[in-house]
Amino acid sequence: MFKRQSILILLTAGSLVAGLAPTAATAIPIGFGCITNNNATDCAIGEAQLSVDVTDAGGSQVLFTFSNSGPLLSAITDVYFDDGTLLGIAGLIDLDDNALGPFGDAGVDFSTGTSPGDLPGGGVVGFVTTAGFSADADAPVAFEGVDPGETLGIVFDLIGGGNFADIIAELTNGDLRIGIHVQDYSGGGSESFVNVPVPEPGTALLIGLGLVGLALSPRNTA
């Protein structure tokens, strides 16, 4: 199946990201757990097929790449973020609509803001969508969403002083959570998912890469 990709760039006012391209930075893969449990089969499909890779995009930015590996019918139609050291969305560039490079495809189109405004069923796990930290598929959502074989990239600026290691730490301890609403299952149902926290070995990997290296510097050792 041909893989389509779209990248949304979520920017602060006056900032600009040009020529965004995949980097050699290590991506941290994260899975999702179903929270609504409307249908056990649909939940299992989502948990098996849906994931997000978190990558240091450089320039105090972090890239979240949402993937649907397929092959079974399902579409990510809404993305939500709960807190974290990210800036609110002040602007959006959908690259496939703006001819800024070969990063997107007209088959995946999202806009900022969501309807509903909060992750459906998110209250069960205390998920509260941070204002301005959401995006949803344009109509028709089942087609423009992240279908099997497709991906969606969202880039956030980091709050002054924050870095990529802070994002991974918050994904580990639950201070930052990611929610997705999934539709277009074969039976017509929908489910909501929240990311599974990054396991501690992921933090150990970051330490090995020097992203959390201050504690290991010679001046901090006995």
The total of structural domains in the chain comes to: 1
In-domain check, residue 19: no
pLDDT digits (tens, 9 = 90+) for 145-175: 999 988 888 888 888 778 899 999 999 999 9
C-alpha closest to that of 63 among 74, 75, 50, 54:
54
Location of structure tokens 């992921």: 202
Residue 60: what pLDDT?
A: 82
In-domain check, residue 18: no
In-domain check, residue 216: yes
The span from the first CA to the last CA of the chain, in angstroms, equals 56
Residue 156: what pLDDT?
A: 85
Sign of CA dihedral 44, 48, 188, 135: positive
In-domain check, residue 134: yes
pLDDT digits (tens, 9 = 90+) for 3-46: 455 556 554 333 333 334 444 468 899 999 999 999 999 999 99
User: Is the full-model pTM beyond 0.75?
Assistant: yes
* Domain hosting residue 92, numbered range: 5-13+24-220
In-domain check, residue 83: yes
In-domain check, residue 104: yes
Residue 218: what pLDDT?
A: 42
